[in-house]
Amino acid sequence: MADTLTLDRPDDWHLHLRDGDRLADTVAASSRVFGRAIVMPNLRPPVATVDAAVAYRERILQVRPSGSRFEPLMTLYLTPGTSPAEIRKAIAHPDVHAVKLYPAGATTNADAGVTDLAACADVFEAMAKGGLPLLIHGESIAPGDDVFDREGIFVRDTLAPLVERFPTLRVVLEHITTQDAVRFVESAPAHVAATITAHHLLYDRNEIFRGGVRPHMYCLPVLKRAQHREALVAAATGGNPKFFLGTDSAPHAQRDKESACGCAGVYTAHAAVEFYAEAFDEVGALDRLEGFASHHGPDFYGLPRNTDRIRLRRVSQPVPATLPLGDTELVPLRGGESVAWVVEQD
């Protein structure tokens, strides 16, 4: 087994960078390896206009480490008030690359999301016409729906009809966690794709309860049973260009996770590509990592692939128990343990 692996520089097609004094830490972590990232708009208030996205991009660029060419690709947060005119403005703007749909209340800072998709028809028509992708947090929000079933219910009752009603709308089902989602995306048209996180490839739901409750393994959509993890690994490593890397790295302060009502989100940006390498290595599919991490995403978004390369080495690295996050700290994935790969810096 080769101990080194060289890849075209990967990109992260689903990332939370936050804002304010936390931004310098998150941008430094992701720009270490990724060339570009699709930046989630779930700030408070949400990034719902082109002007807000442009201003957020400027704040990100201001804290970008010197010498880095990391490129933030901005998204708009779809609200009930989003107008087709704003969508047309986004389509014409070179720095806005997608619109994010949060079913209202589905996850962190999703309160301003959408409850009635039918009311967004003119927005979806404008997006389909301009080729602007709709990125979807795919979970149902009916209070009676079981948390482990929400993705499957959403795919069946909401996504399938949406894709049928808007047959040319470009869609990315974000951070998929189930066999149901894999099957749907596989059988949908070529312009329907999905991102997969490293933690959903590496862990199933038992990890949340290993020896006690582990709040740092809680994210949304929540980890699912082993058979779903296996379906995700097969999809990610199968070479299908519809599946690509999106970390969903979601930083929260340690105190907000270790709480009676802990926040959803797993932070992986400190070792994201290294975690993906572990997952691909486990099934002998390292030769498929470059397509998933570096090619399928830009091809879907109609952007050029990165032209420089990174080198990974299979060497165990300790992961710090905590990392700085502005004036506080977070607990990263594997904090206090180790990761089996390292990205070598020249």
Nearest distance from C-beta of residue 112 to ligand NCD, angstroms: 13
Nearest distance from C-beta of residue 103 to ligand NCD, angstroms: 11
Are the C-beta atoms of residues 198 and 268 closer than 8 Å to each other? yes
Nearest distance from C-beta of residue 218 to ligand NCD, angstroms: 7
180 versus 248: smaller Cβ distance to ligand NCD? 248
16 makes contact with ligand NCD (CB under 6 A): yes
Nearest distance from C-beta of residue 158 to ligand NCD, angstroms: 16
Are the C-beta atoms of residues 281 and 316 closer than 8 Å to each other? no
The site for Zn ion, by CB under 5 A, has a size of 1
Q: Which residues are catalytic?
A: 248
The site for ligand NCD, by CB under 6 A, has a size of 11
248 makes contact with Zn ion (CB under 5 A): yes
Joined together, the tokens standing for residue 114 give: 């959408």
Of these partners, Zn ion, ligand NCD, none, which one is at the site of residue 42 (CB under 5 to 8 Å by kind)? ligand NCD
102 versus 341: smaller Cβ distance to ligand NCD? 102
d(CA 324, CA 207): 24
d(CA 172, CA 337): 33
Q: What angle do CA 45, 261, 270 make, to 5 degrees?
A: 70
List the one residue out of 216, 224, 221 whose CA is nearest residue 262: 216
Of these partners, ligand NCD, Zn ion, none, which one is at the site of residue 60 (CB under 5 to 8 Å by kind)? none
Nearest distance from C-beta of residue 40 to Zn ion, angstroms: 5
107 versus 140: smaller Cβ distance to ligand NCD? 107
Q: Which of residues 105-144 bind ligand NCD (CB under 6 A)?
A: 107-108, 137
> Among 42, 179, 195, 247, which residue sits at the site for ligand NCD (rule: CB under 6 A)?
42
264 makes contact with ligand NCD (CB under 6 A): yes
38 versus 182: smaller Cβ distance to Zn ion? 38
Q: Which of residues 71-110 bind ligand NCD (CB under 6 A)?
A: 107-108
3 state SS of 72: strand
Of these partners, ligand NCD, Zn ion, none, which one is at the site of residue 158 (CB under 5 to 8 Å by kind)? none
Return the biggest CA–CA distance within the chain: 54
Alpha helices by DSSP H, listed for the chain, are 23-31, 50-62, 84-92, 121-130, 150-154, 160-165, 179-187, 198-202, 226-237, 254-257, 272-282, 289-290, 296-301
List the one residue out of 261, 135, 243, 262 whose CA is nearest residue 197: 243
d(CA 289, CA 238): 10
> Among 180, 248, 274, 290, which residue sits at the site for ligand NCD (rule: CB under 6 A)?
248
The 8-class DSSP code of residue 316 comes to -
Residues near Zn ion, by CB under 5 A: 248
Residues near ligand NCD, by CB under 6 A: 16, 42, 107-108, 137, 219-220, 248, 250, 264-265
